[in-house]
Structure 1
Amino acid sequence: MFSPDYFWRYSRQIVLHDVGVEGQEKLKDGSVAIIGLGGLGSQVAMSLAASGVGHMRLVDFDVVSTPDLHRQLIYSERDVGYAKAEAAANRISNINRNVRVEPRCEYVSEENARDLVGDVDLVIDCTDSFQAKYTINRVCAKLKKPLIFGSAIEYYGNVATFEPWGDVCLECLYPELSDEDYPSCAVAGVLPQCVQVVGSIQSAEAVRYILGSPTLLNTLLFVDLKNYALDRLNIAQNPSCPHRANKPLSTPRVWEPTEVCSRNGRRQLLMVLESKPNVDEVYERWVRLGDAERRGRLAVEVRKPDGVYTYTAAGAILGEVDTRIDAKTAKQIITQLATTASQT
């Protein structure tokens, strides 16, 4: 039975016919993994925390950067440079201290996906990478975990719910797409209100799924905020679905430094270390190189004349450098930092 304070907190929600006391208990007992804590994931996390979902696992390998702040409202200026998983978890704890929040600074891969989603009731995909989305789809199919998919770019977004162990999955809708074939938000742009609307729909659908009445199961909802239009499309099983055909995923790990984006005078690079050294150890090694600083528990930052480099507990090094530094030189610098970080 709820305490008077708990009942009062959620009274505007409990009074809804589809929720009630029984529904609120389901939310309180519910557990979700939110994978990707950018524009969509930050909105989903705040909304579900406010709704009283009892356990939230927050997964992202990235750090907060200044261009994130216009749309990722869970973060503030003082979070820049910190791991998104840690900064988001701190914010969620401030929104609702009753939520058991679990930050996981992880780079999603076939090796760790089972651990990230294996013990939750529902998985919410807020990533911006098709490789990550396909990996999540496959593990949800194997473990029979329901999946709420979301994406947004420019003025447009999509939301759909899948039970991928059944007849229809994400790869029936979007088979064999490559990240290189589609522009990112850094290149094409994104309206902040678009990610907030799409993220709100994802969180509303998550609540409905936990309550037992999903609206978008095997249905794609297309959101057009340029023309203020919503369209629905029923998703059918695709005979050419790569998942059904047991086709292996092409998801190479980023062992070599990779340029993620180059725009507005900044070059962004990513490198994932196979050894995944401890953050404390990396700090001790990097502090000898120059101006190294801790950024919370999950990240360490080193500043060089050409740019800023951050190591996170995911085993990832993220670099942001001036485009006057050529890509080859930037990659050499990040490789040297990786070598130092991995020393034993």
Structure 2
Amino acid sequence: MVWVLQRVKPGPPPLGAMGRSRSRSYFPSAFIHLFCVELAPLFVMIFSFYGTIKEQGGKNFYDAIRGHKLSEFAKLDGVGDFDVMACGKDAIERMLWTGILRFQCGDPAQGTYVEEDVFLSPFAGDWSFWPLARAICVLDWWTFFTCAATVGYAMSRLCRTGERFFGSAGYLAWTWNLEQDRRFTLLIVLAAFGPIASCVYVLYFAFIYSAFHETNEAGHGMGSIQTIVQMILVAYPAKMMLIPETPIHHWKTERFAGIDFKRPWYSMFYQSNDVFGVYLVDALWRAQHGHCEKLEMLMFNSDEMHAFMQTAARLQDESDEEDPAFLSMIKGLSPTMGGTTASSATSSGEE
């Protein structure tokens, strides 16, 4: 949707002049919103990756036991299916946290207890011995630390802006610009490398490595295909952050200093700034055509509405001028633009 902002003569005082802004408040609602909403896809990726490895690892161990592929676990033939599956999940979970792949299964009282150390570290011993488990463990650590680095980078960037209130226009503009930050984008790509590399390695292990090497590890056929599908779904949250579904506007944070929007406190935990931006852009478009009710409802201080419209129009002009391809496309679609920007054309038409 193409929207055109009309330049409005600023009657009321400039932005931030109508009282103390909440942007510098002591309650860090912006940090809470950034952590819980804007960066939520990273946490989804971490926990989904972790859960997929744990579930599929337990299933593969169960298949290996029931298929009599691991002779050292022959005592477990009399152990129930649920206990064998739980044993495999516990071993994989321990590996992801400590790097030690140790299977502890059975009941000592019944003479079925088995304890076997496969490796004490994914980097210790021969890499050809249980290579899939070693690789998955390392890639899980990689994903965790790169996601943590991404969160730390975003938090530090926000801290430097001085924004505290999640309803401030400055914080809204900052999150839009963050999605286009090259370092932030690089960190997300590195975080998504873990699940994607896992897909490639599982595929290689199931259909190439196992064809030329003997291995006790399970994970062939549909089991591997299922794992690959799950890993692809795990990497999807990274796509949501790299390619947002909603349009992004490159507005400068400092130009909106002192202006706040009305946002319910509970939206701090579920509504992204991209979604809120859709409502804001719609309200701006309506206000440009004389229907200011929605924009007034969004403004924390309705007296600043006209000044905000003027600033938004100016910043949108600057953003379009920095993107010649976008501007030429808009000119081709809109006969009112001619050789000028949107707001200039509207202003000259009225004059």
TM-score (norm 1): 0.21
* More helix per residue: 2
TM-score (norm 2): 0.20
Larger radius of gyration: 2
* More strand per residue: 1
- Where relative contact order (Cα < 8 A, 6+ residues apart) is larger, the structure is 2
